[in-house]
A and B are shown apart, each in its own frame.
Chain A
Amino acid sequence: MATEFHNLQELRHSASLVTKVFVQRDYSEGTICRFQAKFPSELDNRIERTLLEETVKTLNSYYVEAEKIGGQSYLEGCLACATAYIVFLCMETRYEKVLKKITGYIQEQNEKIYAPRGLLLTDPVERGMRVLEISVFEDRGSGSSSPSSSLSSAGSSAR
């Protein structure tokens, strides 16, 4: 049942979007950015539980690193304050650097793990850090993709 895609380009060209699954934020530790480790049931037969949990755990650790209040952030803050915050216009903050790392990580995960299983992770930054969006694709060529087309025709007739 699981469709095989060899790379992201193939996924985008030959597959149709079936649904999107959202992993919500976990606020149990305050306002720090953290995603729930709960495995969404819709992905039960698409991907192994451990793989997704591993990805979410790594992402959470990246966010912890970005938002860590420690020596470097104090230095950055004090320097910025002393220069009347003009330094923020010239310099990339630590948070932005970590976010770039996260984008690279998600890209890599997509290519190696998720695209071959017909899934695609969207960087949370593009969704306002609210959700981790997982797009579920179905191969257009296969017969199982008909539900999406029939629903669209039903939807248009209802209008």
Chain B
Amino acid sequence: MMKNCEYQQIDPRALSVSPSSTQSHTETKVQRSRRKWEVFPGKNRFFCNGRIILARQSGILPLTLGLIVVTCGLFFAFDCPFLVKHLTVFIPVIGGVLFVFVVTSLLRTSFTDPGILPRATPDEATDIEKQIDTSGSSTYRPPPRTKEILINQQVVKLKYCFTCKMFRPPRTSHCSLCDNCVERFDHHCPWVGNCVGKRNYRFFYSFIISLSFLTSFIFGCVVTHITLRSQEGKSLVQSIQESPASVVELVICFFSIWSIMGLSGFHTYLIASNLTTNEDIKGSWSSKRCTEDSGNPYSYNSIITNCCATLCGPMPPSLIDTRGFLSLDEAIPAASASELELPPFTAKNDAHMCTQSTKDVLERMVHSYDIHDLCPPGTPKTTPLGLEVSSTAAPSTEPSPSAGCLRQHALQPMADPCPPFSRSSKRRDSLHSINPAFRLASPSPSLSHTTLILGDAPAIGFIPLP
């Protein structure tokens, strides 16, 4: 029998009653108070009881550390004795200082919270929903994904993040690898194993600058070493045979120098113009995209001020409060949310879902009539686009949309329909060709839209009105 889902906004007043009613239940359930890092929704790993934060995939951080330690170890063991004897004792001293700088900057970059924004509380998410759904109509319209604001007399679009359920502040981006919104998001660096954002950008910059100095210093010293050895009446080949470690260091340094120095130069340019890698790559403020009198609204229009603001500006504290204790009313939704989350919903699945044929999608939508309340939480992994919402095509977001429902009994993985509008032209062509069929399969525009706001508390959800 066909059952239609009903969209119903959850009243925040209903929410507030729940903690008190389930007070006795939680007291038995939560024996010890947990720290907030234990229920952190993003894909991060925590060590030392919440003091150290890392991305889930540590990437090639061990390789980076290994390369640095091995190269410096070989340098100190094989080149320094010779150079100290022939030149000066300051060589290992300088090398040591640079090494300390490099390693501490690297560790600080990797282990510091890059500026993660905590996800919106259910009350906030409801409030935002209320604000954008101001028409008050019975059919559920999808909320607009962008909000335009004026920053320094320039129009900037704020995008809505479906995972974090909030309009992202300017310069904030959602990292798909860490599944967090990060303030002043620069990029996710696999070498460092963490995102680079507002709070650790200066550590990252000092890491690459000191690494450039270190690699050039070691390269120079090793070349000097081999040159001096060969000047003592031996041939070059003989000198190399006497000190094979130097060749290893030479090779490593030679290949690293180009990339590291290039990166340092690039980031120096970014700092001087107060840009992030993300903005530069997207060309958000380039002259091609923008009109004549627009540019970077965040720039202070002075290289020195830009540098000082980015590198010597105030250090904001971490907003996620990893070591705080969970209050009782936070513990319940967090605990049940973790029960609901299904492991299959990783980035891979989302990409897979997005590339499925629309035919499958249509079939599934027909099935969705029967399993109206079996919508599992899913999380979009990529940045949502500003969508053109049209009444004809089924509106959904570019990343795989999450279908959220009220606290429900069984959970079956239901793939979500892919959006008709996307950046890839291939997808667009295939969808346009079967657009009429797509429209037919979804009698009510409200039902075809499965992009719902999913709260961390299972009580939050929106079901489509018939």
Contact = CB atoms under 8 A, between A and B. Distances in A.
Interface of A: 16-22, 25, 27-31, 66-69, 73-74, 76-78, 80-81, 84-86, 88, 93-96, 99, 125-131, 133, 147-149, 151-152, 154-155, 158-159
Interface of B: 8, 10-14, 16-18, 100-101, 104-105, 108, 117-118, 120-121, 123-124, 127, 149-152, 156, 158, 166, 169-171, 183-184, 202-203, 206, 297-298, 305, 308-309, 311-317, 319-321, 406-407
B317 A77 contact: no
A109 to B, nearest CB: 21
B169 A152 contact: no
A96 to B, nearest CB: 5
7 contacts: A28-B152, A80-B315, A81-B206, A94-B314, A95-B317, A127-B118, A128-B319
Nearest to A88: B315
Given A31-B298, A148-B17, A158-B8, A74 B312 contact: yes
With most chain B CB atoms within 10 A of its CB, the pick from A21, A73, A94, A125 is: A73
B108 A77 contact: no
Contacts of A88: 315
A66 B16 CA distance: 34
B317 A99 contact: yes
A151 B170 CA distance: 37
Contacts of B18: 152
B169 A77 contact: no
A69 B16 CA distance: 41
Given A31-B169, A31-B171, A155-B10, A93 B314 contact: yes
B160 to A, nearest CB: 13
Contacts of B166: 130
Contact of A30 (B298, B305, B315, B320): B298
A33 to B, nearest CB: 9
Given A85-B108, A93-B314, 8 more contacts: A21-B127, A22-B124, A28-B152, A30-B298, A67-B316, A69-B305, A76-B314, A131-B124
Contact of B206 (A22, A67, A85, A152): A85
Contacts of A28: 149-152
Nearest to A98: B314
A69 B314 contact: yes
Contacts of B123: 20, 22, 133
B317 A29 contact: no
Contact of B297 (A30, A69, A77, A152): A30
Given A28-B150, A85-B104, A128-B117, A18 B314 contact: no
A93 B312 contact: no
Given A84-B100, A130-B120, A155-B10, A93 B170 contact: no
B101 A84 contact: yes
Given A95-B316, A130-B120, A147-B13, A27 B309 contact: no
A60 to B, nearest CB: 16
A123 B169 CA distance: 18
Contacts of B313: 67, 69, 73, 77
With most chain A CB atoms within 10 A of its CB, the pick from B14, B17, B314 is: B314
A66 B314 CA distance: 7
A67 B183 CA distance: 15
B319 A22 contact: no
With most chain A CB atoms within 10 A of its CB, the pick from B17, B120, B309 is: B17
